[in-house]
Amino acid sequence: MAAATAAKTWTDKRAHARRQPTLGTVCRLEPPNGQSAGMGLVWNISSGGVSMLLNDRLERGATVRGVLATSNDGFALPITLRVAHVAKLQTGDYLVGGQFDRPLADDEMRHFLAESAAVR
């Protein structure tokens, strides 16, 4: 029974296709609980969530607010993210994955995707 639940959870998290973001896509995080704000380099993105490289550790299960932003067209989108995965890398940075509180619409996603993978 637990294996079936784990498989369902895994499928739910991967329901949205991951895509490579445009170069320079970042997530500027609001400071949680009075800590310093962070900026993550977006590693991949889907309409349901994001993974990013971050200098500071976030706690799994935490809800954070921030802004997804691009350097190429100046688009910025406020988001709320629930941290689902945190892994410390050998560089000292963290790979952080999380789910958006709502799926991004196609017209929002297109700003964050490389031209060849853009949603049209």
- Tell me the whole-structure pTM to 2 decimals: 0.75
Interval 31-74: pLDDT, tens = 766 666 689 999 999 999 999 999 988 999 999 999 999 887 78
Q: Which CATH number is 19's domain given? A: 2.40.10.220
Alpha helices in the chain (DSSP H): 2-13, 106-109
106 Cβ contact list (under 8 Å, min separation 6): 47, 119
The number of distinct structural domains making up the chain is 1
Q: How far apart are CA 7 and CA 78, in angstroms?
A: 31
111 Cβ contact list (under 8 Å, min separation 6): 22, 70, 73, 75, 77
Boundaries of domain holding 10 = 2-117
- Please determine, for residue 5, whether its predicted confidence score (pLDDT) is greater than 60: no
Interval 76-112: pLDDT, tens = 999 999 999 999 999 999 999 999 999 999 999 988 9
Model confidence at 2, in pLDDT bands (50, 70, 90)? very low
